[in-house]
Amino acid sequence: MAARPAGPAHNSILLRHIEYLDADFVWKQGDILLTGDRITAIDAPSAITAEAAEQIIEGQSLRLYPGLIDLHTHGAVGSDTMDATTEGLEKISRFLAVNGTTAFLATSMSSDRQSLEHVFRQPPSVSGAAILGYHMEGPFLNSAKAGAMDPRHLRRPDISELRQYQHIRRITVAPEMDGALEFIRLLTEETGIKVSLGHTVADYQTGLAAFAQGAQSLTHLYNAMPPLLHRDPGIIAAAIDSGAAAELISDGFHVNPAMVRVAWKLFGSQRLALISDAMRATGLADGTYDLGGQTVYVRQGEARLADGHIAGSTVTLWQCLHRAHAAGIPLQDAARMASATPAELLGEADERGRIRKGLRADLILADGSSIRQVWIGGQAVL
């Protein structure tokens, strides 16, 4: 039945005859009405009258995706979370928005307490992608798998230190560290902070114990952790057996495309979240940059420390989505892994992450892999 409101609602947009991913991530054709910051109606093609909206966009040949949510991104366009400046976070937020990321966790590096206290303050109000809080990546990590972290700043988990910080939504911990299992239990029971396991040499049994204490996922699957071996299954097998989730950097550099497909087959789209793990060189040319106090050399878009360790990515989550698809993952699954799955892992599924009536109007309008428009809370970005 056609929707027939008395007149157009204020700040309303009608997307007509658009191909979109429905709440179950199946491609459908229909009309979608945005009113204010919400999706207010979804119906069959031509079922919503033109009088319902102030603006009409014809969607033939275009596709509509839910806005992307990046659980793990350090920075872009010359700025980094560790800079701890409103100006820097605004630049990151705007860059992410025009590239399809509508919400993110500003992700830290390992550092001293004073620096981290300065970082973990009230996230500023920004005009682009919403900052949902912070992902505290370190310092409670294993120096044997430091990766691009400065090993001088790595230390055992300390709940009293963590309580000095604010607005943390997610934390990466190495579960084999002294006191880590109790630390994970306390975080899960007392704070609501989501725990992810990474930068670790944990074996299978330690991984199982950590997931039993409440850990939710693995941080950047395959990277900075032991491999999955037939006689030494390690923490990856523990995550699979525990029903835990995993982050995955599908930039084509961190993980071979074949192993991207393997991850999808092992975890499924409901338990695998695509992340960018982007650093401040993202959106800029090759050159020399800083990451957590260490010098990073970017050559042909690949970021490495002087010793050769990979030091984050220089791609957007939208690019990761399409590279995952190029690796053989169905486009609708790749889209879910960059939107609904991270929303679920953060406890944000009732607010964002899907194209569903009542959720935020955080959306991407695309022509193939080219973004034509992004809306955040119903407001056009481009």
pLDDT tens, 142-197? 999 999 999 999 999 999 999 999 999 999 999 999 999 999 999 999 999 999 99
Q: Identify the CA nearest to 296 among candidates 307, 286, 305.
A: 305
What pLDDT is attached to residue 7? Answer: 54
* 257-267 vs 234-242: helix crossing angle, rounded to 10: 40
Q: Indicate left, alpha or beta for 269 from its phi (over 0: left) and psi (-120 to 50: alpha).
A: alpha
Query: Following DSSP, what letter does each residue of 317-339 receive, concatenated?
Result: HHHHHHHHHHTT--HHHHHHHTT
Residue 229 CB contacts under 8 Å (≥ 6 apart), including other chains: none
Structure confidence by residue, pLDDT tens digits, 332-363: 999 999 999 999 999 999 999 999 999 999 99
Spatial separation of the C-alpha atoms in residues 31 and 258, rounded to whole Å:
37
Spatial separation of the C-alpha atoms in residues 374 and 172, rounded to whole Å:
30
Say if strands 12-21 and 63-66 run parallel, antiparallel, or are unpaired.
parallel
> Is 83 labeled as catalytic in the residue annotation?
no
pLDDT in tens, the chain (382 residues): 344 444 555 689 999 999 999 999 999 999 999 999 999 999 998 889 888 889 999 998 999 999 999 999 999 999 999 999 999 999 999 999 999 999 999 999 999 999 999 999 888 899 999 999 999 999 999 999 999 999 999 999 999 999 999 999 999 999 999 999 999 999 999 999 999 999 999 999 999 999 999 999 999 999 999 999 999 999 999 999 999 999 999 999 999 999 999 999 999 999 999 999 999 999 999 999 999 889 999 999 999 999 999 999 999 999 999 999 999 999 999 999 999 999 999 999 999 999 999 999 999 999 999 999 999 999 999 9
CA-CA-CA-CA dihedral for 190, 181, 219, 27, to nearest 10: -60
| CATH entry 2.30.40.10 includes domain 12-65+355-380 | yes
State the pTM of this model: 0.96
Q: Identify the CA nearest to 342 among candidates 268, 278, 276, 272.
A: 272
* CATH code linked to domain 68-346: 3.20.20.140
Q: Identify the CA nearest to 348 among candidates 213, 198, 129, 169.
A: 169
Q: Which of 31, 251, 277, 333 is catalytic?
A: 277
Q: Where are the domains of the chain?
A: 12-65+355-380, 68-346
Residue with token string 């007392």: 190
- In order of 16, 352, 358, the CA distances from 6 in angstroms are 19, 28, 20
12-65+355-380 and 68-346 in the same fold: no
Structure confidence by residue, pLDDT tens digits, 56-68: 999 989 999 999 9
